[in-house]
Amino acid sequence: MAAAAKSLSRGAFILFEGVDRCGKTTQASKLVESLNQSGVASELWRYPDRTTTIGKMIDDYLQCKADSDDASMHLLFAANRWEKKKMMEEKLRAGVTLVVDRYGYSGVAFTSAKKLPGLDQQWCKHSETGLVKPDCLMYMEISEDAAKKRGGFGEERYETTEMQKNVREVFADLREDWWNVVDADRTIEEVQKDVQTIAKDAVERCKRGKELEHFEPGW
C-alpha cells in the first residue's frame, strides 16, 4: 500500500552548486570516493552532461564554437536534465546515492544572470518544474577574488567578472533555508570535512525512506 511505499529505502540526491571555480567538482569527486569507501554505493553525475547529443551542442556553445539563441540554450540545458530524469529516479530508487555537480539552480542562475527581457527567474524555472528535487544542496560560497585566482578562469563562456557577479546575486536570491552554505574559501581538506558530515545526514534520511520530491509549479 502507499504507506508501505513511503518508507522505502533509497539513495540520496546530493547536489553541489555555486559560481565557477568554487571547487564543486573537486569536492563532489572526493565525496563519491569517500562514500563508496564507506560502503555507500554512489555515483558522480554532472550537468551539463556533455556526453549526450544535447550535451555536445551545449559543449560547443560553452566553448564558443557555436552561437545560439539564449532561450533555446536555456531549454537545451534543461532538456539535458530531462533526458536523464528517468535514469536518475531509477538509480535513486535502486539505492544508489547520486552526487551531482550542478543542476537546475545553475540553469536559472546563469540564464537569468544575462538580464534579458523575458528570460527572468520565473521563466527560467518553468523548464525545471517536474524534475527531481535534490535531498541535500551544498552551496559552495567563495569570494570573488579567490574564484578568479583559481586555474582556468576565463576559459569558457560565462567566465567573466560581470557574469559571475550576476550569477552570484541570483544564487543569493534563490537560496532557501534548507540549503547548506559551505565556506569554500578554505582548504580542500577543511571543506571536505564539512561536506562529509552534511552528506552523511542526507544519506541516512534517504536510507530511512525520505520521499522523493520533484520541483512543483511556481517553485
Which residues of this protein are in contact with ligand NYM, per CB under 6 A? 20, 47-48, 62, 77, 102, 106-107, 110, 158
Q: How many residues in the shown chain lie near Mg ion by CB under 5 A?
A: 1
Question: Which of 10, 45 has the CB closer to ligand NYM?
Answer: 45
Please state the closest distance from residue 29 (CB atom) to ligand NYM, in A.
12
Smallest separation, CB 95 to ligand NYM (Å): 25
Rounded Cα distance between 160 and 162, Å, is 6
Question: CA geometry: angle at 165 spanning 164 and 167, to 5°?
Answer: 60
Q: Which of 10, 18, 19, 20 binds Mg ion (CB under 5 A)?
A: 20
Closest Cα partner for 122 from 167, 173, 70? 173
Beta carbon nearer to ligand NYM, 19 or 203: 19
- Is 128 a binding residue for Mg ion by CB under 5 A? The answer is no
Nearest CA among 135, 75, 136, 60 for reference residue 108: 75
Distance CA 195, CA 210 (A): 20
The region of 19-27, 69-77, 127-135, 177-185 touching Mg ion under the rule CB under 5 A is 19-27
Q: Which is nearer to ligand NYM, 40 or 107 (CB)?
A: 107
Cβ atoms of 157 and 60 within 8 Å: the answer is: no
